[in-house]
């Protein structure tokens, strides 16, 4: 969509929220560094991300719960708010595009939550990416957005299956997650809109952003047979939960 520019007094809303986020960061980073020294590195980042979401106006309702034990969450993707919501509700770490690692301050923040960066356009590196994800799953709960991009919230895009190889033959639950915004068009980041423009547009809102995070039953039986079966089953489950159409899954 063509987002209207942030103008006039709405800049005050953006400034107030940005200031609150900076203050939260300043308050929480000493605690995070101390807990890191004590071997509790994963304790604070999910709480911090949840706090950023709340300050940005995100209000989350959870249905269901993450499965116990080693777990790979597979979710649809509409906004950068998805990450804040899943971190807060599932204490998950994420697989992210390698290009984010080029943004030094953002990359540092991502790494505090054990983000795994992958280069999606390097087909020759898929085996290494799968091995890295499998190793990460042995340490903590991970989440992927297999659409590979964000949508406008009116369709569930094809789920790519490559990274789901990390769960093939492994004692790891694969659980679809449906992320349903009350007004997806108002917050979706897609098309030609830049990330910075989308962040400003969301922060300038007066109305809260309501999101329902639904943890669906983990895949089982024939759904777990292969990575392609997992991708197809997860896409069907998420699309059905959201009552949205879907193109066929792809490799």
Here the CATH number for the domain that contains residue 142 is: 3.40.1130
Residue 127: inside a domain: yes
In a domain, 2, yes or no: no
Domain assignment present for residue 28? The answer is yes
pLDDT at position 243 over 50: yes
At 251, the pLDDT band (50, 70, 90 cuts) reads low
**pTM, to two decimals:** 0.90
Q: Is the pLDDT of residue 100 over 80?
A: no
Domain residues for the domain of 96 are 10-242
Using alpha carbons, select from 86, 62, 64 the residue that is nearest to residue 217. 64
Model confidence at 248, pLDDT cuts 50, 70, 90, reads low
List, in sequence order, every residue forming a beta bridge with 72; answer none if it has no partner.
142, 174
- Three-state secondary structure of 6-61: CCCCHHHHHHHHHHHHHHHHHHHHHHHHHHHHCCCCCCCHHHHHHHHHHHCCEEEE
* Tens digits of residue pLDDT in 172-206: 999 999 999 999 988 998 878 888 889 999 999 98
Q: How many Å apart are CA 22 and CA 195, to the nearest integer?
A: 19
Interval 38-95: pLDDT, tens: 988 889 999 999 999 999 999 999 999 999 999 999 999 999 999 999 999 999 999 8
Q: Is residue 89 part of a domain?
A: yes
- % of the chain residues with pLDDT over 70: 91
Position 249 pLDDT exceeds 60: no
- Interatomic CA distance for residues 20 and 128, integer angstroms: 39
What's the pLDDT at 2?
44
The domain tally of the chain equals 1
For the stretch 17-35, pLDDT in tens is 999 999 999 999 999 999 9
CA distances from 186 to 64, 75, 78, 93, 198 (A): 26, 20, 11, 26, 10
Question: What average pLDDT is seen over the chain?
Answer: 89
* Token pair 């899943």: residue: 86
Please check whether residue 250 lies inside any domain of the structure.
Answer: no
182 found inside a domain: yes
pLDDT at 133 over 90: yes
Secondary structure class of 114 (helix, strand, coil): coil
The pLDDT of residue 128: 85
pLDDT at 1 over 50: no
Structure tokens at 48: 């911090």
Helix, strand, coil % in the chain, rounded to nearest 5: 45, 15, 40
Q: What is the mean pLDDT of residues 147-166?
A: 91
Q: What is the pLDDT of residues 218-233, one digit of tens each?
A: 999 999 999 999 999 9
Q: Determine, yes or no, domain membership for 79.
A: yes
Q: Are 41 and 35 in contact (CB under 8 A)?
A: yes
Question: Is residue 42 domain-resident?
Answer: yes
What is the pLDDT at residue 120?
60
């Amino acid at each position: 969509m063509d987002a209207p520019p942030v103008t006039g007094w709405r800049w005050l809303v953006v400034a107030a929220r940005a200031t609150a986020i900076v203050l939260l960061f300043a308050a929480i980073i000493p605690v995070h560094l101390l807990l890191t020294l004590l071997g509790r590195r994963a304790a604070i980042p999910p709480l911090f991300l949840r706090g950023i979401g709340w300050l940005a106006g995100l209000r989350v309702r959870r249905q269901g719960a993450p499965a116990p034990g080693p777990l790979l969450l597979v979710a649809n993707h509409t906004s950068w708010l998805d990450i804040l919501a899943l971190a807060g509700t599932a204490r998950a770490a994420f697989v992210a595009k390698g290009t984010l690692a080029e943004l030094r301050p953002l990359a540092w923040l991502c790494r505090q939550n054990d983000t795994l960066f992958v280069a999606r356009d390097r087909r020759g590196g898929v085996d290494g990416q799968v091995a890295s994800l499998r190793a990460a799953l042995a340490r903590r709960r991970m989440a992927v957005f297999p659409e590979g991009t964000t949508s406008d919230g009116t369709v569930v895009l094809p789920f790519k299956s490559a990274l789901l190889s990390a769960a093939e033959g492994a004692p790891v639950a694969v659980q679809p997650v449906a992320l349903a915004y009350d007004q997806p068009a108002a917050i979706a980041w897609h098309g030609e809109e830049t990330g910075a423009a989308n962040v400003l547009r969301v922060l300038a809102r007066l109305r809260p952003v309501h999101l329902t995070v639904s943890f669906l039953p983990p895949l089982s039986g024939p759904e777990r047979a292969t990575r392609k079966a997992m991708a197809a089953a997860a896409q069907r489950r998420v699309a059905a939960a959201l009552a949205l159409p879907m193109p066929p899954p792809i490799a």
